[in-house]
Amino acid sequence: MPTYTADNLTVLQGLEAVRKRPGMYIGGVNAAGLHHMAWEILDNSVDEAMNGFAKSITLTLHADGQTITVEDDGRGIPVDKNKKSGKTGLELVLTELHAGGKFENDGSGNYSTSGGLHGVGASVVNALSKTLTAVVRREGSEYKMGFAKGKPTSKLLKKKGATRATGTAITFVPDATIFPKTHFNPDTLRARLETVSFLHKGVRVTFDDQVGKTKTVFQHDNGIADYLEQVQKERKAAPIHATAFYLDKPDAGPQKERVELVFRWTESTDEHVRSYVNGITTSMGGAHENGFRAGLTKAVRNYIDTHKLTPRGVKITHEDIREGLVAILSVFIPDPQFQGQTKERLNNSEVQGIVDNTLRAPLEQWLNSNASVAEGIVARIVAASRARAASRAASASVSRKSATSRLTLPGKLSDCSTKNRADSELFIVEGDSAGGSAKQGRDRVTQAILPLRGKVLNTETAGLKKVMDNKELSDLVTALGCGIGPAFDLEKLRYQRVVLLADADSDGHHITTLLLTFFYRHLPKLISEQRLFIAVPPLFRVDVGKETHWAATDEDRVRILQGLPENKKVEVTRFKGLGEMMPKTLWETTLDPATRRMLRVEINDQLETDRVMSDLMGKDPSARFRFIMERAEDADEVDV
């Protein structure tokens, strides 16, 4: 047994911890983590604008596609020396974790509200950058300082001559030894910048895309009201009423919190809420969204009860009230407590009551003042209630049919034996052949295998009845045990993880996409609750003498081969499918929790995800044609 003493402990100094464990600070080194680097710098400029010190922000994607510059006309990061450390303010901000001017709401007037309270954003970006250059203009002078991988490469240099300009410009290049891919997506950057202009009306936001050789200026004087119209247009959701409900209350709570909200009911069958705190996207919601839903439900229920509008035999639930709702919620609070550095969820419990109380009375008044609009909304809610009741009956019928059959679970399901759901996982496998290998190679105690035949139904535009008429999907729903659509109950899910396991070729990717469409449209909470995963089986086996390497993609294969000595004998084998793998090989590469790779399915941008799903899987072929033509030059080769 190895010894474990104090000498085995490692203390990481300065920004070493960031480079050692980047996922702790930016969520990972995938595309989302790469773009989070840009958001961290952008958010600092947004904080200047949010507090009235900047009117213009420009983000430049340079021609190499890897270099980002974010520039604002704010006050500029301080360059005088800090008395305690002896370092300039600029060096402190960019090289020390938890160094910044946003921790104390001390009445100094510096930052009354801010999105970056952890004080790690700029320093983390610096730590994970190959190079970073900061230019500061303040108090009539311009200063410049260079960094590499978190450490200064030059002293603070003062440019000769005076300048009347003020502000900060940060230019950085992500470190390719940290990020597998360092090229930024112009569409992702553009969408985020336009969102900033929606949330901070009056601020001029410019995207200088030197890759695409375009420059776009965003400035929305109507703020989130314009944003709502764009979201609806993207989602193709027909509105129930023309005039949206809009609320902007600058002194909503004891610390002068601001609540800005706009929403409208549509004919869509789902609810779509986009929420923000101090301009930061909160994709997982939190206290402010809970307060919005509570205030909305109470106000609508009170209106319905007061006017006795509930038909006999109809029971209206909070899901019925919110069905078809499209909403933009933006709150500004002095001391936000986020869940994690990536700030996906707001944890301030007091904000729930503030939003609830701020919304309820104005919404009731709006409904009472717009009787015809209110009647249309109530009619839509009643229709949702009736449809939900019919759906529950249909789902119950399916459950009863399964329960009374000889096997309550699909016959082709090889279930696991554990009684502890927390240890269990279901692998949805492509084909009986792959299913056979998976069944033999799995851990029978914790891993269940459900093989599917061929490509499942495209459910992008399919109704619940058509979905349940499809045997493969019906078997899948029965195996999961949690119901579908409005009858979904996460507590009844029989497995802790649901894993999509298909071949690593184009056919396998297509099957995975079809299954993702099914889960996204009919079981979205499995995604939002982080229960859905994609297995990453190898496509290639690379044998080098007695050593074996596994490559999931062509890029992995090339990377492995480039790292081998020239005189080594190499044998490369391409797998035709999971079915031809030996069970032991499938276990070692794909099923074994100690060695496997799995991708967790997440939605970082609900609007963009919805648009892409609609374009790629919908009935309109022109959207797919446009998608292919726009990206044709990016494809080195096509696996057909």
pLDDT in tens, 67-105: 999 999 999 999 988 888 788 889 988 988 865 544 344
> What value does the mean pLDDT take over residues 383-405?
57
> What value does the mean pLDDT take over residues 403-415?
63
Q: How far apart are CA 22 and CA 403, in angstroms?
A: 48
User: Which ranges of 491-542 would DSSP assign to H, the alpha helix?
Assistant: 506-522, 524-528
Percent of all residues in the chain with a pLDDT value above 70, rounded to a whole number = 89
Per annotation, catalytic residue among 47, 142, 323, 503: 503
CATH 3.30.230.10 residue ranges of the chain are 224-391
pLDDT number for residue 421: 85
Q: How far apart are CA 571 and CA 45, in angstroms?
A: 52
Residues linked to residue 326 through DSSP beta bridges, in sequence order: 264, 272
Task: Give tens-digit pLDDT for 552-570.
Answer: 888 888 888 887 877 778 8
Per annotation, catalytic residue among 208, 229, 443, 505: 505
Number of CB atoms found within 10 A of residue 286's CB: 25
Q: Is 430 a catalytic residue?
A: yes
pLDDT number for residue 207: 97
The residue assigned the tokens 């005039």 is 243
Which stretch of 240-249, 416-425, 535-544, 619-628 has the lowest confidence by average pLDDT?
619-628
CATH of domain 409-537+575-603: 3.40.50.670
Q: Say yes or no to pLDDT of 335 above 60.
A: yes
Q: How far apart are CA 89 and CA 68, in angstroms?
A: 22
pLDDT number for residue 614: 76
Task: Give tens-digit pLDDT for 607-619.
Answer: 677 777 777 887 7
Q: Is 375 a catalytic residue?
A: no
pLDDT number for residue 360: 96
Closest by alpha carbon to 147, among 91, 96, 99, 98?
Answer: 91
What tokens were used for 176? 């390719």
Which stretch of 97-106, 208-217, 315-324 has the lowest confidence by average pLDDT?
97-106
Q: How far apart are CA 416 and CA 495, in angstroms?
A: 10
Please, which pLDDT band fits residue 13 given cuts at 50, 70 and 90?
A: low
Which stretch of 169-178, 239-248, 591-600 has the lowest confidence by average pLDDT?
591-600
Per annotation, catalytic residue among 43, 47, 425, 430: 430
Q: Is 505 a catalytic residue?
A: yes
Query: First vs last Cα of the chain: how many Å apart?
Result: 52
> What value does the mean pLDDT take over residues 148-154?
93
pLDDT number for residue 264: 96
> What value does the mean pLDDT take over residues 250-276?
91
Sign of the CA dihedral running 125, 127, 133, 136: positive
Between the CA atoms of 176, 177, 181 and 183, what dihedral angle is there, to the nearest 10 degrees? Answer: -20
Task: Give tens-digit pLDDT for 425-474.
Answer: 999 998 777 788 889 989 999 999 999 887 788 888 777 778 888 888 88
> What value does the mean pLDDT take over residues 325-343?
84
Residue 420 burial (10 A CB sphere; 0-12, 13-18, 19+): exposed
Regarding the domain delimited by 224-391, which CATH topology (the fold level of the hierarchy) does it fall under?
Answer: Ribosomal Protein S5; domain 2 (3.30.230)
CATH 3.30.565.10 residue ranges of the chain are 16-218
pLDDT number for residue 61: 97
Element counts in the chain: helices (H) and strands (E): 20, 22
Q: How far apart are CA 344 and CA 186, in angstroms?
A: 22
Task: Give tens-digit pLDDT for 291-306.
Answer: 999 999 999 999 999 9
Q: Say yes or no to pLDDT of 606 above 80.
A: no
What tokens were used for 322? 């919110």
User: The pTM is what?
Assistant: 0.59
Regarding the domain delimited by 16-218, which CATH topology (the fold level of the hierarchy) does it fall under?
Answer: Heat Shock Protein 90 (3.30.565)
Per annotation, catalytic residue among 208, 443, 507, 615: 507
Q: Say yes or no to pLDDT of 117 above 80.
A: no
Highest mean pLDDT among 53-62, 83-92, 371-380: 53-62
Q: Say yes or no to pLDDT of 356 above 90.
A: yes
Q: Say yes or no to pLDDT of 106 above 90.
A: no
CATH 3.40.50.670 residue ranges of the chain are 409-537+575-603
Q: How far apart are CA 348 and CA 330, in angstroms?
A: 15
> What value does the mean pLDDT take over residues 516-545?
89
Amino acid letter, residue 117: L
pLDDT number for residue 60: 97
Please, which pLDDT band fits residue 399 given cuts at 50, 70 and 90?
A: very low
Q: Is 507 a catalytic residue?
A: yes
Task: Give tens-digit pLDDT for 473-494.
Answer: 888 998 998 888 777 888 889 9
Please, which pLDDT band fits residue 404 given cuts at 50, 70 and 90?
A: very low
pLDDT number for residue 26: 85
94 vs 112, residue with greater confidence: 94
Q: Say yes or no to pLDDT of 398 above 70.
A: no
* Residue 545 near residue 486 (C-beta atoms within 8 A): no
Task: Give tens-digit pLDDT for 158-184.
Answer: 998 899 999 999 999 999 999 999 999
Looking at every residue in the chain, the average pLDDT score rounds to 84
